[in-house]
Structure formats: structure tokens, C-alpha cells
Amino acid sequence: MKDDNTLTAQDLTDINGDEFTQAYQQFVKAGDLISLTRQFEQGFAQTGRDNQLSFNVKEAKVSLLDTGILLVEPESSAMSDKPSKRIVISSGIHGNETAPIEIVQQIIGDIIAKKIQVKHPTLFIMGHPVAMNIAKRFKTENLNRLFCGKHQLIEPCFEKYRAEKLEQYVSGFFNAGTSDVTNYHYDLHTAIRSSKYEKFAIYPYQADKPWDKEQLSFMAACGVNTILFGHGPTGTFSYYSSANFAAHAFTVELGKVRPFGENDMTSFQAAADKLTALVCNEDLSLKDFDNNDFNLFEALGDITKVSDNFKLYVDDAASNFTDYPVGTILSTDTGEEYRTTQVGESVVFPNANVGNGQRAALMVVPTTL
Ligand SMILES: [Zn+2]
């Protein structure tokens, strides 16, 4: 093992050997990517890139590229007619967010059981095997802050190594597409705190590009009708694909965190069904966009902790999108206070336990398109 806790190919061969061969054969038969990924959290020496770990299902080729990373490519005869798409569906970027991992598993299971026919190249991701195994959001660093090269700025740890790898797999996947292909990336999460609106999505900052109403309709069809419009570049996985590959991308929060096996999967069925339909090029039956079907929010600004005297009057357990009457004092700090000024002004991601100079809450207001 190297100093930074990542394993070399030789380490992996030494550790895995026959055990991996058996587990892989079991995966080809039963399609359980969760169990294979958890068994080999650090990876394995073999990769799918040279067809070592590839097999065929129903007019498609399945390649295991790395632990938790599965590429499914339809044969050219099975590819959908134009418009063609390349789709990334990621889960488990936070290891304890199990429902999204189970959604991805459900789709992969159906593909390997030959129940569904994939029509667009799709990269499925279970993002953080190490955190999955310890049932934690992350081990050392929050993986969903490390994309867009931000992993280069931190000390060696599993997340640093994994963010770099995930960027490589996603860029390789999107770069393999031709110029007439449209890219998609849905990064599926569940939230730690409760939310006034159970399901919501963060639409990454688009700079000069307009918000895509058809994509909002797709989110609504997935059961997600609360959308928070991003207000600047970030280090999230969805922003990475949006900014670098013009992908239609979202960070999708599907409900509350629960352990494996304790998710009420019926609550996620709409999302699983629509993602399956997208991958299989089936009719999505999307409704035309209508503001009345959505709770849309734009960022108003941050409440920033300036000094040690900072006090946040929003409970850490407050639900996301809790709104306050105009004139409510939400925080005080040396010589200043934060008072709400807009009708419907609401708080998301409150956290008083941050360093000086960091964001303690994001304030948002309702908007329309
Ligand atoms: Zn998450």
C-alpha cells in the first residue's frame, strides 16, 4: 500500500486474486454491483478497458471499468435513432445515501437480467465504496466538493484519489461521443436533514445558458418538482459535467438518508422508471413546463460566519426551505446582523459549525421562469 492509502495494481492482484475472479463471475450471473463494489472498495487490478471485464447482454456490452463503475454500450444495431444521448447516472457520492445506490442497482439488475434493452451508452456509478462500507457520508473529505480539479488542492486521501478517477471516467465517457450527441448526468443523492419539500434538485449554474424547461419537466416526471438554481461555479459532480461537457445535469435529492434495505423504494419508483425509460429510449411522456407545477428557487446570498461571535438563529435541524417572515433576524455577528428582506425568503443547508469566513446558510427566494 502506498502512503496515501491507495493501492497499486500489484497490491490489488495480491489481495484479490481468485477471490476477485469468483466475485466477478457471480456478478456476471446475478448482476449485484452493490455487493461486488463493497467487496472490492479499493478497486481491482483488472479493468474493463481492454475487454478483460466485459460481457454481452441483450444487444449491449457491459464493461466493469473500476469498482462501482459500469459502462453499458448498446450494439450499433440496437442504438436508438437520432437524437443520440450519452448518459451518466451516479449514486453514492456520499456513501450513506443508499436509496440512489439501490436505484442504480435496480436498473443494472434489469439490464443484466436482460429485462430491458439499453439504447444509449450509459455510465453507471456507485461513487464512494469506502464510505458505503462504513455507512458514512465520507471518510476524510466531502467528495462532492472535490470535482473540477479541486481534489488537487487537498492532502492525499481516498476521496482525492476517487474524485480524480471519477473525473477521468466521466471525461473519457463524454469525450467518446460525437459532436451531435447530447450529454446527460443525473447525480442522485438523499439528504441528511429533512426538507419542507421532500425531493428537490440543484440545477448547476449555467452562466450564459438558459435553464432548460424540458429538463425541468423531466425532473417533475421523476417526482422532483422543487428546483434550486445554482448561482455560481462549484466543485460538485453535476457541475463538473455541466460546465465541462455541456451535459444536462442535476444534483437530485430524493428524500432522507436511510441504511441499506430500509428505503421505501416505492417513493423512488418514478425516478427509477423515468431514468430507465431515458436509457432505453422509451417515451418519457413529459408534460409541458408550467410554473404552477414547480417550486422554483433562486439564491439570494449566503449568511457568512465572520467571527467567533457569530450566532445563527436557525436550528441545525431546521428543514431545508423553511421560510421566515420579512424582518426576521437569522444571525448576528460582531457589529452586524442578518434580517430577511424578501417575501418567501427561505433557508437551505444551515450549518453553524463552520469556520470564520465560511457559509453558514444559503438564503433563497421563490422565482418563476
Ligand atoms: Zn449527498
Kindly give the distance from the C-alpha atom of residue 137 to the centroid of ligand 1, in angstroms, as a whole number: 7
Kindly give the distance from the C-alpha atom of residue 28 to the centroid of ligand 1, in angstroms, as a whole number: 29
pLDDT at site 195? 87
- From the list 253, 282, 298, 337, the catalytic residue is 253
pLDDT at site 351? 84
Kindly tell me if the per-residue pLDDT of 3 is higher than 50: no
Q: Binning pLDDT at 50, 70 and 90, where does residue 2 land?
A: very low
Kindly tell me if the per-residue pLDDT of 211 is higher than 70: yes
Quick check: is 253 catalytic? yes
Cell of 9: 495494481
Kindly give the distance from the C-alpha atom of residue 18 to the centroid of ligand 1, in angstroms, as a whole number: 34
Cell of 48: 474493463
More confident residue, 301 or 229: 229
Kindly give the distance from the C-alpha atom of residue 279 to the centroid of ligand 1, in angstroms, as a whole number: 23
Q: What is the pLDDT of residues 88-130, one digit of tens each?
A: 999 999 999 999 999 999 999 999 999 999 999 999 999 999 9
Tell me if 89 sits within 8 A of 104, measured CB to CB.
Answer: yes
Query: pLDDT exceeding 70 applies to what percent of the chain?
Result: 93
Report the alpha-carbon angle 278-284-290, nearest 5. 125
Q: What is the pLDDT of residues 272-303, one digit of tens each?
A: 999 999 999 999 999 999 999 999 999 998 99
Instruction: Please state the rounded mean pLDDT for residues 189-200.
Output: 88
Instruction: Output b/e per residue, 49-72; b: 16+ Cβ within 10 A.
Output: eeeebbbebbebbbbbbbbbbbbb
User: Kind and range of the H or E element at 101?
Assistant: helix 98-112
Q: Binning pLDDT at 50, 70 and 90, where does residue 257 land?
A: confident
pLDDT at site 9? 54
Query: pLDDT exceeding 90 applies to what percent of the chain?
Result: 77
Contacts for 112 with CB less than 8 Å, ≥ 6 apart: 28, 30, 31, 57, 62
Kindly give the distance from the C-alpha atom of residue 251 to the centroid of ligand 1, in angstroms, as a whole number: 8
Kindly give the distance from the C-alpha atom of residue 326 to the centroid of ligand 1, in angstroms, as a whole number: 31
The rounded distance, in Å, linking the Cα atoms of 126 and 130 is 11
Helical H segments across the chain, by residue range: 9-30, 33-39, 98-112, 129-134, 158-175, 213-221, 237-245, 269-279
pLDDT at site 268? 93
Tell me if 43 sits within 8 A of 5, measured CB to CB.
Answer: no
More confident residue, 309 or 18: 309
Q: Binning pLDDT at 50, 70 and 90, where does residue 353 land?
A: confident
Kindly tell me if the per-residue pLDDT of 6 is higher than 70: no
Kindly give the distance from the C-alpha atom of residue 94 to the centroid of ligand 1, in angstroms, as a whole number: 5
Cell of 35: 455487493
Instruction: Please state the rounded mean pLDDT for residues 140-156.
Output: 95
Kindly tell me if the per-residue pLDDT of 16 is higher than 80: no
pLDDT at site 45? 75
Kindly give the distance from the C-alpha atom of residue 22 to the centroid of ligand 1, in angstroms, as a whole number: 32
pLDDT at site 297? 98
Q: Binning pLDDT at 50, 70 and 90, where does residue 49 land?
A: low
Instruction: Please state the rounded mean pLDDT for residues 352-362.
Output: 87
Instruction: Please state the rounded mean pLDDT for residues 17-24.
Output: 86
Beta bridge partners of 71: 63, 123
Residues near ion ligand 1 (Cβ under 5 Å)? 94, 97, 189
Kindly give the distance from the C-alpha atom of residue 348 to the centroid of ligand 1, in angstroms, as a whole number: 14
pLDDT at site 14? 56
Kindly tell me if the per-residue pLDDT of 191 is higher than 80: yes
Instruction: Please state the rounded mean pLDDT for residues 197-210.
Output: 95
Torsion of CA 100, 106, 108, 113, to 10 degrees: 170
pLDDT at site 1? 43
Residues present in the chain in total:
369
The rounded distance, in Å, linking the Cα atoms of 221 and 201 is 13
Kindly tell me if the per-residue pLDDT of 47 is higher than 70: no
